[in-house]
Amino acid sequence: MPKPRRTLAAALVIGASAIALTGCFPLPPALPEAPSAPSSTPAPAPETSAPEVSETAAPTEPSQEPAAGDYPYTVDDGLGDTWSFDVTNLIADPPMQSGEAEPGTFFVGVVISAEHVEGDVGFRTCFDIFIEGDDGQTYDWRDTIGVTAENDVYFADDTSFADAVAAVQLPEGVEPERVIIRSAYGHPEVPDTVIDVN
């Protein structure tokens, strides 16, 4: 029975040779790779708008109107001087310190009390003083600057004064209807202060 053993041995040798020629034993199909572990870096968060910064500035001090004085009329000439004042009376033929009315005319004294609220320019420099007569004409205090009434506004204090007189010359028979106090530097932007005599 040596034949079958030889046959079997020959078969084994042939099989071993075939394996040697083809290489190693065939490997089973590759296993799919395990999924990689999730990345430890977190995904970026969705963009959110940052809280808006208010564009409004910090509250500031409100702009202030020029302070008003104790009198009913306050005028700011826009150049740094503010006066508060009142026309307290009109006097026909006020007492005069020097000078007298021209023939056919008379003086009307415009009596003014005032307080300097701001600035350093005197009242007589800041304002022109007029009387409007019932004849429709306007008469200027500066036209009679050469005469001096008692307690004349020309010499009034630059800070405050009471009952200073501006003597305005009117033709005889003309009655005053209005007193006009005009800002010498602010006119015409600064409105006139117009006071009805009646």
pLDDT at 146: 87
Q: Would you place residue 24 in the very low, low, confident or very high pLDDT band (cuts 50, 70, 90)?
A: very low
- 3-state DSSP helix/strand/coil percent for the chain, to nearest 5? 15, 35, 50
pLDDT tens digits, 105-147 = 999 999 999 999 999 999 999 999 999 999 999 999 999 888 9
Pick the CATH number of 73-196 from 1.10.10, 2.60.40, 1.20.120, 3.40.190: 2.60.40
pLDDT at 22 over 60: no
Decide if pLDDT at 68 tops 80: no
Residue 149 has pLDDT above 80, yes or no: yes
**Residue 162: both structure tokens together:** 């009471």
Task: For the full predicted model, state whether its pTM sits above 0.85.
Answer: no
Instruction: Band the pLDDT of 156: cuts 50, 70, 90.
Output: very high
- φ and ψ of 60, to 5 deg: -110, 165
- Closest C-alpha to 97, from 47, 154, 35: 154
Rounded to a whole number of angstroms, the distance between the first and last alpha carbons of the chain is 164
- Distance from CA of residue 15 to its chain's centroid? 107
Question: What b/e readout covers 41-53, taking b as 16+ CB neighbours within 10 angstroms?
Answer: eeeeeeeeeeeee
Is-contact 113 88, C-beta < 8 A? yes
Task: Report d(CA 91, CA 104) in Å as an integer.
Answer: 18
Q: What average pLDDT does this structure show over 68-94?
A: 94
